[in-house]
Structure 1
């Protein structure tokens, strides 16, 4: 698939401003599952779930939810719309997402990020002033844990590792593909470029010119580090919309949700916000044209995700939005491919990464049984 199209949720539990109804945590989680199933039904490629550890959000354990969704779907890629690389232990990330990778048959990747909630740092014993350094050091360790069977490691922010093997090993020895997500931090764009990973700019709150500058930085540094020409860098974009068949109906219906949304309510008017950011409130044709226009600023890219269920939108409305997205999906795919140079890489998948590695699936177990007292095991010859 040259360009992956999908939706993401940040899992907010927000009152519906039109009637005051607040879903329970249980209902919100079940609604998230319904959105993921609907995403597969309408032919989307990706469903992504955020990670938060504070009200008003509910997604504190994305792998649990994505594992459940994996069992209820068969095709769609399951991702995160941020895995907190700063406050999670990279050892646990390595284990959890390898496990999910196996159980989903390789249908998993993840987006690393620092998150947008300051108090989460002390809750997990971290200092927010070290956010960038945590992101850099933790990912360096995670990258090694997925590529080296036995790791010796020492850093600043966690205890050393001596002869450590992360289990299970990645499926087919192919680590889950990683996107580094950032809105404003050039250090994260640099990190993505250094490793040759993907860079995801979740540009739902920012002018496209800012997005363009961040992606140009990533592309330039991707080429600098020898991963290929800048045009081959792996780029993802965020976006959001609210559609009705008649644009006036979309504006009228979405306005109370916009005006009261925790993230941008009581600020700029909806008209100001839509003119300055990628938010599109209007007809399906307007959403299609606006989205296809992103290429003019950032070049050909590999993943487009839309924020789909937030600000208190009822699940019935969210699923209606997805039906409308499904209707324009063929034209969206065709438009993103029109004029796309043949050498632009497709969006990475487990199958494409395995094929590129030249490796064959191997189900053999290559370790000694180890010592259940010390936990140490050595690689067999």
Structure 2
């Protein structure tokens, strides 16, 4: 199972000091977090994509390439690539280029984002969010899998004899996750292609998360990619740890109360009861995280949000030490001990996709088994 961290890249004042980091300091902090994640043995670092204050990660591939040059093992991913407002040609070329720079240590998560004004900023209509996600992703698959593309759709100018460059590394496109909190159409899209489904459940109760994952699993099996429990699932969450629960809550409370995403709403206690947010000891984090599999089934990737809400970088790095040294080794053992042998332990990697060969379903634009199911059902 893969464990890692994701960052939304918010530039938030520290509520205990009033100091706001500069954008440059925040970018540097995200880089240090990625390097620390590899150092302590985590598997994945993922960055969001935002184009509005108070967030800085507007150019994920630039940042991930910079991190790739300083790391050797960690998988570099996105926690959102805006498939709706970013042209598929741009995505195809940027991430294939990053594949080459990172020697294959790349996957990405498609998402629609949660900032409404971003659509008109990039000339799109938010009312077309789902159709944009569907059409743009299908074009992206063709750009990565066909040498020459002739295409016409609804939301961009046609392509005639177009070849995306560079071609994917080893002729193998990156593995794709589809991230959604509440859109069943996105879970359906992930299932249709046999891609991964990531539920970033930092705001939602586990009952809702379980319903979304169950839908994806059911449709994954419907399209004949495998049994429902073999579907590729990822979850997000947030933790803050200390020696005692009281100490963790005392330190984290002012950051929670003023967080730009969920501050000034439910209390810390209410939020930790209703969502996967865990503020307490490492043992509490282990117990809570193991419970996720009871709710959604055995899954393949767990990402934690560690640097949100103005937490000082040095504190975040200390949290990563605890996560990597005390929490993740236990979670690895416990998750693998309970996992049935026929259920994948990890999501596909570049190496595993290359080893599967050019005739593997991953290389198809529209999976044959899925297309057959649509016709016959």
TM-score (norm 1): 0.93
1:313 aligns with: 311
CA distance in 1, matches of 2:136, 2:170: 23
CA distance in 1, matches of 2:89, 2:172: 17
1:251 aligns with: 249
> Mapping of 1:162-181 within 5 angstroms?
162-181=160-179
1:352 aligns with: 352
CA distance in 1, matches of 2:226, 2:282: 36
What is the CA-CA distance between 1:149 and the residue it aligns to?
0.7
The RMSD of aligned alpha carbons is 0.8
2:262 aligns with: 264
Give CA-to-partner distance per residue, 1:80-123, whole Å, 9 cap, x none. 01000000000000000000001100000000000000000000
Give structure 1 stretches of 5+ with no counterpart. 360-381
CA distance in 1, matches of 2:322, 2:247: 14
1:108 aligns with: 106
> Mapping of 1:270-281 within 5 angstroms?
270-281=268-279
What is the CA-CA distance between 1:245 and the residue it aligns to?
1.5
1:62 aligns with: 60
Alignment size in residue pairs:
357
Give CA-to-partner distance per residue, 1:181-214, whole Å, 9 cap, x none. 0000000000000000000000000000000000
TM-score (norm 2): 0.94
SS in 1 for 2:338: coil
What is the CA-CA distance between 1:358 and the residue it aligns to?
6.2
SS in 2 for 1:344: coil
What is the CA-CA distance between 1:355 and the residue it aligns to?
1.0
What is the CA-CA distance between 1:264 and the residue it aligns to?
1.0
SS in 2 for 1:238: strand
> Mapping of 1:1-381 within 5 angstroms?
3-326=1-324, 327-345=326-344, 346-357=346-357
Q: Where in structure 1 do 4 or more consecutive aligned residues deviate above 6 Å?
A: none
Deviates more, 1:245-254 or 1:349-358: 349-358
Give CA-to-partner distance per residue, 1:206-255, whole Å, 9 cap, x none. 00000000000000111111111111110000011000122111010000
CA distance in 2, matches of 1:358, 1:91: 22
Give structure 2 stretches of 5+ with no counterpart. 360-377
Give CA-to-partner distance per residue, 1:316-351, whole Å, 9 cap, x none. 110011011012221011111112111112321101
Which structure has greater helix proportion?
2
CA distance in 2, matches of 1:101, 1:245: 40
CA distance in 2, matches of 1:173, 1:261: 43
CA distance in 1, matches of 2:157, 2:327: 51
Give CA-to-partner distance per residue, 1:255-279, whole Å, 9 cap, x none. 0001111111111010000000000
CA distance in 1, matches of 2:358, 2:9: 39
Deviates more, 1:245-254 or 1:33-42: 245-254
SS in 1 for 2:69: helix
CA distance in 2, matches of 1:76, 1:342: 25
Give CA-to-partner distance per residue, 1:125-178, whole Å, 9 cap, x none. 000000001000000000111111111100000000011111111111110000
CA distance in 1, matches of 2:181, 2:327: 27
